[in-house]
Structure 1
Amino acid sequence: MLKFSKETVVFSLLFIIALIIDIIIKINWDASVFRYISKSSLSILLIGYYSFFHKETSRVKQFFMTVALLFFFIGDIFFILYQIELYYIFAIFSFGLAKLFYVFRFSNQGDFRVKQITPALVFCFLLMMLVMYLINDNLDNFFFPTLFYFFISTLFVVFAFLRRDYVDTHSYALVIVGVFLGLASDTLAALVSFYDSDIPFQNIAVMLFYGLSQLFIVLGIVKETNFEPTAEDVINDKS
């Protein structure tokens, strides 16, 4: 059974409250000074929690995780002014770089098992192709930034799956849930921006999925316990 420390429970509640406040402000006072404060508070909470409670033994992995969260923070700020084309492109690249540093953080020195990543790779490819098909006619200057972001998002999912044999089950499950919530947020945001801006509850759903995605990923990384796969695991994966 998955158990959390009191610190984790308190942090999660504070983060969810901050996320709800940010969603309310987004709906009522989007692009106001209040939004900058509420949006920034989410990243500050994540960075603070990770900095104080992580169990990283690798300085490099700690650096990758911190930089990823900082790029998400930068992307969040740019995305508040998403109606300005240049800021929207900056936001896409910032989120893409953030996910790239997550990929670096997820990577391990083990063998690359094609069998393990095939379902995730096929799912991401089909999803991205479907979304690109729906939004392609409206992308214009956003075509290459969006393609870049979708490519990084696919790597993001694949490397999250590759953690399976190297981390404990609870950490793995939390990160995977976060990754799929992130995919849901990205997919919905792309459809709202370039396909149909009248999707019901889109303002709530995009931010809710995005915020919970970040929460689950950070919780999973902080809770992570590393171990080496057994010979039996390797044989089963290659069979």
Structure 2
Amino acid sequence: MSASERVVPEGARRRRRPTKQGTVLSERLIVETTLRLIGEHGAAALTVRRLGTALGCDPSALYRYFRDTDELLLAVADELIGRTLNSWRPTGDWRGDLRSLGLRMHADYVAHPQAAMLACARVTGRTHEMRSVDAILGVLRGAGFPGAEAVRIYHVFVDQTLSFAALDASTLALPVRAQELEERTWRETYAGASAGTYPHIAATAGVLVAEMSRSGYPAALEMVLAAAAGRLAHVRERSGLPGC
């Protein structure tokens, strides 16, 4: 029998007996444990054997909930999205709403850098992701963007957020010595660049070193929101509606 054939329908998944550690398996418990293990051990933690050990159960029991580790990864990715949505409420100010959602998304992924590197590029098709897509499109359509414009801006907004999250997460996931080396390179190599050889670096060294010590996402997000506002003004001008 294949792994996919062993998956049990959702309503029949609950174990009648607790695991060796006295807990009852559930999809949520497995996802939360996976997220913790990935944070501690990176991609190597995403194995049925390691999960079974952490949960105190036979690894084969996990197939009652997930067909394979890839399906489990999609559930982990969806869990991160759900955590963001649960802490965000739209206010009716489309720019403010997208700003707060983008910053929350970025922060929640960066808080789990190892998982972010595995999950940022995946499309889950699960409940939280679909809620997120619908909510963002709702904010944009509610602001007055036509369907095609709303989808295009949604695409740029989400891809930008996830790209920066993956980039920043990869930096945080580096060994401590590698992180310290990168910081020292900006602080010493770039700050001490010769004006004769690198005039523009030397002229902006103080600002450059300070800027490169933090994520570029907040500034990039503002640029996207400003560009979107320009598109909305153009749409309203063409339709004869008042400006933003």
TM over 0.5: no
Higher relative contact order (CA 8 A, sep 6+): 1
Which structure has the highest helix share of the two? 1
Scaled by the length of structure 2, the TM-score of the pair is 0.29
Scaled by the length of structure 1, the TM-score of the pair is 0.29
